[in-house]
Structure 1
Amino acid sequence: MNFKVFILTIATFTVGLIELIIGGVLPEIANDLNVSIGTAGQLITIYALVYAIAGPTLLAFTSKVERKSLYLWSMLIFTIGSLIACWSPNYEVLFFSRMLTAASGSLIVTLSLTIAVKVVAPEFRARVIGIISMGISSSIVLGVPIGVLVEEALGWRILFLVIALLTLVAMVVIYMFLDHIPVEEIMPLKAQFASLKNSKVISAHLVTLLMLAGHYTMYAYLTPFLESTMHLNAYWISVVYFVFGLAAVSGGMIGGVMSDRLGSTKSILIVIGVFALAMFVLPMSAKLIWVFPVVLFVWGALSWALSPAQQSYLIQNAPETADIQQSFNFSALQIGIAVGSAFGGIVIKNTGSVTMNAWVGAAIVVLSFCCALYSLSRPSGAAKHVSNQSVHTS
Structure 2
Amino acid sequence: MKRIHYLLALGTFGIGTTEFGVIGILPQIAAAFSVTIEKAGQLLSLFALIVAVSGPFVMLLMSSVNRKKLMLFVLGIFAISNLLSVFATSFNMLLIARILPAFLHPVFWSIALSIAANSLYGETSSKGVAIVFGGFTVSSVIGIPLATLMASVFNWQSSFVLCAVINILSFVGILFFLPSIKIAEKQTVSSQTKILKKPILWISFTLSFLMIAAMFSTYGFMAVFLARVTKMNGTQISWMLLIFGLSGVAGNWLAGFLLNKSILKTAFMFIIALMLIHLLLYCYGLYFVPMILLIAIWGFVHTAGFLISNVNLTSSAPESPEFVNSIFTTCGNAGVTFGTILGGYFISGFSVQNVIWSSIGLLIMALLVWILKRFGNFE
TM-score normalised by the chain length of structure 1: 0.91
Distance 1:201 1:31, change over 3 A: same
Cα deviations by residue, 1:17-74 (Å, 9 ceiling, x for unpaired): 1111101010110111121111000111111011122322211111111111111111
Residue 284 of structure 2 aligns with an amino acid whose one-letter code is S
- Note the 1:1-394 alignment, pairs <5 A: 2-185=2-185, 187=187, 192-260=192-260, 262-351=261-350, 353-379=351-377, 382=379
Alpha carbons of 1:189 and 1:265: their partners in 2 closer, same or farther (altered >3 Å)? same
- Letter of the 2:95 partner, please give it: F
Partner amino acid, structure 1, of 2:38 = G
Mark the CA change 1:310 to 1:215 in structure 2 (over 3 Å): closer, same or farther: closer
In structure 2, C-alpha distance between the alignment counterparts of 1:251 and 1:186, rounded to whole Å: 36
Change (3 A) 1:166 1:42: same
Opposite residue 276 of structure 2, the aligned amino acid is L
**Separation in 2 of the partners of 1:289 and 1:232?**
8
| Contact 1:275/1:298, CA 8 A, preserved across alignment | no
Contact 1:50 1:99 in 2 (8 A): yes
Residues 372 and 308 (structure 1), Cα distance of their counterparts in 2 relative to 1, 3 Å cut: same
Q: Give 1:316 shift.
A: 4.1
Q: Secondary structure at the match of 1:89?
A: coil
Contact 2:109–2:326 (Cα < 8 Å) also in 1 = no
Cα distance in 2 for partners of 1:372, 1:186 equals: 34
User: 1:291 is paired with a residue of what secondary structure?
Assistant: helix
Counterpart contact for 1:126–1:311, Cα < 8 Å = no
What is the CA distance between 1:335 and its match in structure 2? 0.6
What do the CA deviations read for 1:141-177 (whole angstroms, capped 9, x no partner)? Answer: 1122222221122211111122212212221221111
Whether contact under 8 Å (1:218, 1:358) holds in the other structure is yes
Secondary structure of the residue aligned to 2:320 is helix
Q: Cα distance, 1:288 vs. partner?
A: 4.4
Classify the secondary structure of the residue corresponding to 2:197: coil
Contact 1:230/1:286 (<8 A) preserved: yes
Structure 2, unaligned runs of 5 or more = none
Quote the offset at 1:185 in angstroms.
4.5
CA distance 1:233–1:316, shift in 2 (3 Å): closer
Structure 1 residues 271, 318: CA separation in 2 closer, same or farther (over 3 Å shift)?
same
Distance in 2 between residues matched to 1:273 and 1:199, nearest whole Å: 25
What is the CA-CA distance between 1:307 and the residue it aligns to? 3.7
Report the AA paired with residue 108 of structure 1: F
Q: What is the DSSP-based 3-state SS (H/G/I as helix, E as strand, rest coil) of the residue aligned with 1:88?
A: coil
> Is this contact kept in 1: 2:14–2:139, CA < 8 A?
yes
Conserved? CA contact 1:314–1:322, under 8 Å = no
Partner Cα separation in structure 2 for residue 18 and residue 160 of structure 1: 8
Quick one: structure 1 residues 124 and 28, their matched pair in 2 at CA, closer, same or farther if it must change by over 3 Å? same
Residues 187 and 373 of structure 1: CA distance in aligned 2, closer, same or farther (over 3 Å): farther
Indicate the SS of the match to 2:196.
coil
Shift of the alpha carbon at 1:323? 3.2
CA distance in 1, matches of 2:196, 2:301: 26
Alignment length, in residue pairs? 379
Q: Which runs of 4+ in 1 moved over 3 A?
A: 185-194, 287-291, 306-317
Q: Does structure 2 retain, via aligned residues, the 8 Å contact 1:117–1:128?
A: yes
Matching residue's letter, 1:335: A
After TM superposition, the structure 1 stretch with the greater mean CA deviation from structure 2, 38-47 or 158-167, is: 158-167
For 1:346 and 1:238, the matched residues in 2 are separated by 25
Shift, 1:10, TM fit: 0.2
The more displaced of 282-291 and 75-84 is: 282-291
Q: Is the 8 A contact 1:200 1:378 kept in 2?
A: no
**AA paired with 1:66?**
N
RMSD: 1.9
Deviation at 1:89, TM superposition (A): 1.1
Q: Alpha-carbon deviation of 1:103?
A: 2.0
Secondary structure of the corresponding residue to residue 184 of structure 1: coil
Quick one: distance in 1 between partners of 2:148 and 2:311?
A: 35
- Normalized against structure 2, the TM-score is what? 0.94
- Whether the 8 Å CA contact 1:82–1:101 is kept in 2: the answer is no
